[in-house]
Structure formats: structure tokens, C-alpha cells
Structure 1
Amino acid sequence: MALSRRTLLASAGSIAMTAGLTTACGTNDLDDLLVEAKRPPEGPVTVRWWAGKIPARDGGDMRPAIIRAFRRKHPTIRVETVKGLSTTDGNRVALTTQIGGGSTTPDVYLGDTTWPAQFGANYLALPVDSLVPESFWDPYPQALMQASSLKGKVYAFPCYTDAAYLFYRKDLLAKHGIPVPRTWEELERGARRIQRAGDADYGFVWQGSVSESLTCVVTEFLADAGGSVLDRSGRVAVADEPAQRAVSYLRGLVDAGVTPSAVTTFAEQDAMDAFAGGRAVFLRNWAYAWGMSEADGASKVAGKVGVVPRPGFEGRPDSGYACLGGWSNFINPNSENLGAAVAFARFCAGEEAQMMLLREAGVLPAMDTVLDGPAAARTGDPTITTTRRLKLVARPVQTPYYPQVSKAVYTQVNSAIGGSEPVGGALRAARSDITAALEGKAL
């Protein structure tokens, strides 16, 4: 790579986040990188892929199988895995430091779907939209493309996605003659009836801790009520009427005892344990919860669980909103093997790898056309067969300051559901904190 790129990268930390990759390295430098990224590798090369375990249905790891399939198509490109860290934030901080310091490795890294704006704006990811035909993006969910973009540029190749569902106890609903709820109000009434009968400690469990998990929950309930954290223009909308309805409902669940007051400390595993342990009627969780609920020996509710898209509010025309999750492959702009890195990331996004994920993985393929095919129906996995009924919604990731925006959301909403602040006051505080975050002021 040219010395000018190394020098420019070293000073990137002093460049405003909103300036983006073009400002950080100059239009000509970016054009040179993109030309290089389109060029097939000459001779044997090694690509280093930073990626945590991609779980297989049998408990194994999908990464070796994906690499073997890629090597059959590209025998001159060797892929070495660099083990990712155990947490999303840990990976984000480590990669920000490493790539921001000018490291040429990893060449490709698997990152959260919330990262593109932040990483693209800070010269930590190469814009990839011009490296493929425009039609390349057609088979992927619109919410995923929205989350992967900043100012019209796409900064990641899809790999796999995730979404939230409503899990419920089929046996308890049948015992009490309660239909699967179509609205949140029906869910609350049904849950209270089963609790009063003494058949469950908790009516509905979800993730309410001071963490990113609560931002996901809030994003969904805001969509249910017809709102969002940021509007389409990027302005703060979290203190409007839909937000009042959404957060008031969550607070009301706690006040009514349908959701335990300890939900303010519940991370994903806490909610999962309560449901798989037979203590709750309903659970909001990601796709992996199906496998954990059905695990013989480890789950007390195996064979008793149903899965449906999330309900909606009474009087609202829509239901089935689900927060978009998952991981995508980013290209390190400093890589000395850009062409090979792009080839590998494209392969992971392509139909062959996506079909492997469908057949063998414990995650959801990102490609809609794979989820629409007959192979998806044959899996018998309800999280796969119902995925195309979901209305995926992205978190407020259209800003490089998303981590600060998310912190403002989950901190203030947690205080509202816990009762330490009134809903209206917490939402006004969230609005103020989000506004400050969007202006680049640290929280």
C-alpha cells in the first residue's frame, strides 16, 4: 500500500467522524483502493478473517466449512481465521483500535449490523457498493441494506441475520383456552389469567437491563406504536406519542406483575433461563431461543413451545415487527489483499454459503431468496419458516454516533420501566441525551 495511505490513516483519529472515508484519505486515494479491490489476486495469497464462532445446529462451528467451500472456488486464496472476542462491544473496541492504528490485518472482519455508519465514517471499513453490480443487493432485506449504509454508501457485505420472535407455552394456552395473542393487550390479559391460576410465575419476560438488548426491545415496541427513535430525516422522535404508548406499556407490565420487576436487570440469558425453566408463559427473544427451548434435558419446556411473529398494539394496522440483528463482513481499507478480501466477503454473502447456513447453521441466512425457497420450508424450524412474515426494523444506526444514541435509549427507558422516573420525564431526558449524542457530545 502507498505510504500516503499509512500516513493518512495514522491521523484519521483527529478527523471528524462525519467526514467519512473520502475525507480521511482523499478522493483519489479512495478511487485507487476501489480499483485495487476489484482486481483479482495474482498468485497465492492469505486472507485473515476476524470472526467469532458461527454456530452450527449440531453445536459445531460453520467457519471451517465456509472456508473449505470458498477454497474450492478460489484455490489460490488461503483463509486464516482470527478468533473474535466474546462480546460485541469487545470486538468493536478491539477492531477500532487495531484498524484505526493502521494495521493491515485482519483483511476481512465479521461485525455487528449496527457498525457500518460508525466504521464507515471513521475510515475503518471500505465502501463496497461500487464493487458489485447494483442488482447484487436485491436479494437482501431492505432493513439490512439501510443498516449497512451511510450517506448512500454501503459498508458491509451481508453474512447472516437475526430477528426477534414471540415464544409461548402451547400447553398452557391450550389448558386455559387462550388463543395465541394477536395484540399486546391480549397477551397481557392471557398471561395474567394463567398467572392467577398458579400455572406460571411470570407472564411475559424480555430483556430490560441497562444494555443494547433494551434498545432492541424499545425499537420494536416503538415500531408497534407507529414510531421510531429517529425519524427518516435523522431527527429525534423518541418523546412523541408512539414512544409514550410503547414505554408506558412496558412499564405497565411491570406494575401489573405480568413482567417481574427484576426485568430491569434481565439480559438475554436471564429471560431465556426463566422461560426454559418453565417459569414464564411468553418470551421475547432472538431466533436461537427456539433451539434452547427444545433442548432435551436442558429445557423443562421442550415440545411445549410455539413461535410466532411479535403481536402489535390494538388499533394499529401492523404487527410482526422484529429488530434486525446479525453480522456482516467488512473490508479493512488497509488490507494488502483487497481483491482477495472482497472475493471472500462476496462468497459469504452469495447463494452457496447462504444455503450452507440454511441447512446447517444455527443462524438465519441473510438472503431473502434462500429463505423463500423450498429448502427453507423443509427445515421445520419455525424461526426460519416464519422469517419472511416479519417486518424487520433497524435500530437508529443511521448515525456514526449510534453507540451513544443507544446508551441514551437504554439508560432512560430502564429508569422508566423500573419506576425510578415517570415515563414522560424519562423520554424527555432520552430526547435530550440523544440530541447531545448526535452532536458528538459524549454521554
Structure 2
Amino acid sequence: MKIKNILKGAVFGVFAVSGAAHAEVTLNALFMAQAAYSEDDIRNMTEDFKSANPGVNVNVELVPYEALHDKIVLSQSANGYDVVLYDVIWPAEFAQYQLLENVTDRVDADTRKGILDGAWTTVEYDGSLYGMPWIADTKFLFYNKEMLKKAGFDTPPATWAELESQAKAIKDKGIVDYPLVWSWSQSEAAICDYTTILSGMGGQFLDADGKPAFNTGGGLKALEYMVDTIDDGLTNPNSREYLEEDVRRVFSSGQAAFALNWGYMYNLANDPAESQVAGHVGIAPAPGTAGISTASAVNGSMGLGIPTKSEHKEEAWKYIQFLTSQKVQDQYAKLSLPVWEASYSNPDVIKGQEPFVDAAKTSLAVMAPRPTMAAYQEASSVLQEALQNAMLGTQTPADALNGAAEAIGDIQ
């Protein structure tokens, strides 16, 4: 959906502000109710902030990822939010339409130095910063150790070809009907899985001239791989309707040997209260391709920013600084690893999740970006439909991607 059309269609009004009567200022903050930090984590962090800042109240709203972008855009016509969580793929668009405050001058040198270099790409566009990195994440390969052992494998696959062959062996031995499960619904989730595979197969979204190139080379091979695993009965066919939480539930119920998902799944899948396979869950970087890559990853990081129409920018910045501080991130590191470099040598962060941290050290260093373009939402929608058509068998992977490349070239 074009951002300018959303703005034109928005209903102007005044956002209702509520909160404790004693609060001098009430912030309205928008978060994602999906992956990374849990709702309880976010609310507990916020309560800690309010305790430390008695003059500030915070209304927390959580929405599914799929609603996050349009909520941010629509709210600009109603002074809706003071703090928003946003995806790494949106700064170009938001900067073009001046939806987020430029906070470059607010970030001091120590903060710039202390946060992982790659994390800054989450909030940066054209040399300016539009918020603070908060979630450093990518897709990892999760595997059921018990199933691999039954199939005769001591280690998880290191390449996409090995993943396919291990999955076939597991299926042939009758260990599980569908060894692979993915979040391949017609949504951004499928784009993230596709980007992960594309990156490991040497593909690229755009060529040196900025023109679509995903319909050739590694981009085409990635979609062919996805379709082949469906046709060969290795991938759960319902993956074409699944989002990340569906993947977690299927894997945690013992119905899959492998899953691609965000880092938050590691501790949840190993929690007996959340999972039937707790204690048997391994995590590794997504596989690479022999002669091309040793690992695959997509930049799924997210940042916190201040909408330009916020009337409480100073208080909003304090809240963002609190949530993104190393102390708070280290305290809540079980579902989302910190963006601070020093955190990875903190025993309290590492303890009990050493495999997760080890995998992250490799994966976070090779994260592939999705295209940086103001019309990203439109381009993504086109590509989502193409992926779905190929997976449903209504188009060949080549035809689907060629059509998408032509349409996205017109959008540019």
C-alpha cells in the first residue's frame, strides 16, 4: 500500500490519551506482538521505566507484525504514537515522508561505539539515524536432536543440499511425515525465509544498477529449492499458510525435524511449559552452499523511533534510551539477544543459552538485507504473490520471478 495513499485516506482526529491521573505526561507506544521480546517482557520493562520516571506514564499497544507498518503511517494523521517499533526495511520510506524524527544528534559517541556495527543499519538511512536499534535478529535453523539421531546424523546440516538429504532420510525412516516447516504464508515472513535461502545461494535482489536481479542465479535457485521441498513431500504443505508462531507450535509439538525461525524460538522450544520437545532442540546458523557460503541469514532487526508528530519527544527519547540500554537488554536476553557488543562476554547473558549465542555470532555477521527502497512495501507485496504462485504450482519459479521483477522494475 502506498504511504501517500494511506495518508490521504486517513481519518483526522485526536488520539485519546489515558493514564494515571497523576502522570504529567502520557506516552503512547506501539510494539509488535510477535517474535523477539514477549508482551510480558515489554510490559515489565515499561513498569521499570515508569518507576524510575514517576512523571511519565506509558500506554503500551501490541499488534501483529502485519499491522505494524500501516498503524505507524495512519497514526501520523492523529498524533497517535510517541514511540514506535519498526522494521529494518522501512527507514527509507519513513525518511522520505518525514514520519520519524531524525535523532542523529541525540546519539553520543559512546553509544555509537558500544552497539554492534550491523545493528545500526536497522535505523540508518542516507547517513542519518531515525531511532535506536532494539532487536538484532535473523533466521536460524532449529533441529530436533532426537530425530536426527534416529536417522543416523550426529550434526545438523551445513548446506541447503544436506538439509534436503537429511530431511529425506528422516522421512524415509518414518520418523516424521513432514521433516521441514517454514513460515511461507503470503506475507513478509515468506520474504524473510526466501531472503535467507537466496543469500546463502549467492543471489541478490538488485544488481549494480539497482534493477531487480532476484529472478536469476541464486534468487531463482532459492525459489526452486522451496518448491522442490514441497513437491518432494519434505515440507509441510501447510507452510504456505504459516507465520512464525505457527512454525513454533508445529516444531514444538514434535511434528517437524527442522524449522527456520527467529531467535526467540530457542528458549521457548526448550521450555517444558511451552514445548513437547524441550531438551531436544538444537540451533545452528541457517545452512550455506558449497563453494558459495558457509551460512545464510536475513537482516530481521528492528528499531525504536519517535514519530515526528509526537508532542512528547524528550520523554519518548528517555523511554527509548531505557529500553535499548545494555542493562535492560541484558536482563531480558532470553528471547532477544542484545544489540550491545559487550553483552556477548557477559556470563549472565550467555549462561544457559550458549548454543543460541554461538549461532548468533556467526549469523548476525552475515545478515543479508532486503532491498532499501521507499516503495519497499509495494515491491514486497508483488514478490510475496510470486512466491505463493510458485509454491502453489500455478506458475513455474522462473515465470513467477520474471513477472515480479518486471512489476517491481515498474514500481521503481
Please indicate the TM-score interval, normalised by the length of the shorter structure.
0.7 to 0.9
| Mapped partners of 2:84, 2:24: distance in 1 | 17
Q: Given the alignment of the two structures, is residue 377 of structure 1 paired with residue 347 of structure 2, yes or no?
A: no
Aligned to 1:255: 231
2:154 matches 1:182: no
Residues 175-204 of structure 1: CA deviation (Å, up to 9, x unaligned): 232132111111111111111111111122
**Kept in 1: contact 2:31–2:84 (CA 8 A):** no
With over 3 angstroms needed to count, the CA separation of the structure-2 counterparts of 1:143 and 1:251, relative to structure 1, is: farther
2:143·2:257 contact (CA, 8 Å) conserved in 1? yes
Distance in 1, matches of 2:274 and 2:261, equals 17
Give the Cα separation in 1 of the matches to 2:30 and 2:371: 21
SS at match of 2:101: coil
Q: Rg larger in 1 or in 2? A: 1
SS at match of 1:280: coil
Instruction: Give unpaired runs (5+ residues) of structure 1.
Output: 1-9, 15-43, 439-443
CA deviation map 1:312-356 (0-9, x unaligned): 11222331x222324321112222332222232223222222222
170, 173, 176: which one pairs with 1:197? 173
Match of 1:18 in 2: none
Return the match for 2:58 from 59, 77, 80: 80
The aligned counterpart of 2:191 is: 215
The TM-score, its normalising length taken from structure 1, stands at 0.80
Q: 1:367 to 1:297 in 2, by over 3 A?
A: closer
Residues 53-62 or 244-253, more deviating: 53-62
- C-alpha distance in 1 between matches for 2:409 and 2:38: 43
The offset of 1:77, in angstroms, is: 4.5
Normalised by the size of structure 2, how large is the TM-score? 0.85
Instruction: Write out per-residue CA displacement over residues 213-238 of structure 1, whole angstroms, 9 at most, x where no aligned residue.
Output: 10001111111011222346643221
- The answer to whether the aligner puts 1:437 opposite 2:411 as a matched pair is yes
Structure 2 CA distance for partners of 1:339 and 1:11, relative to 1, 3 Å: farther
Structure 2 counterpart of 1:410: 384
Contact 1:45/1:78 (<8 A) preserved: yes
Q: Residues 324-403 of structure 1 correspond to what in structure 2 (within 5 A)?
A: 324-358=299-333, 361-380=334-353, 382-390=355-363, 391-403=365-377
Measure how far apart 1:281 and its partner are.
Answer: 1.4
Which letter does structure 2 place at the counterpart of 1:46?
Answer: V
Question: How is 1:16-165 mapped onto 2 (pairs within 5 angstroms)?
Answer: 45-52=24-31, 61-70=40-49, 75=53, 77-84=55-62, 86-99=63-76, 101=77, 103=79, 105-134=80-109, 136-165=111-140
Q: Secondary structure at the match of 1:388?
A: helix
What do residues 230-263 of structure 1 show as CA deviations (whole Å, max 9, x unaligned)? 3466432212211122111112212222113333
Q: How many aligned positions are there?
A: 393
The 3 A distance-change label for structure 1 pair 79 and 112 is: farther
Q: Quick check: 2:252–2:269 contact (8 Å CA) kept in 1?
A: yes
Quick one: structure 1 residues 91 and 186, their matched pair in 2 at CA, closer, same or farther if it must change by over 3 Å?
closer
User: Which position in structure 2 is the counterpart of 1:23?
Assistant: none
RMSD between aligned alpha carbons?
Answer: 2.9
Contact 1:216 1:395 (8 Å CA) reproduced: no
Q: Secondary structure at the residue paired with 1:109?
A: strand
User: Cα distance, 1:311 vs. partner?
Assistant: 0.9
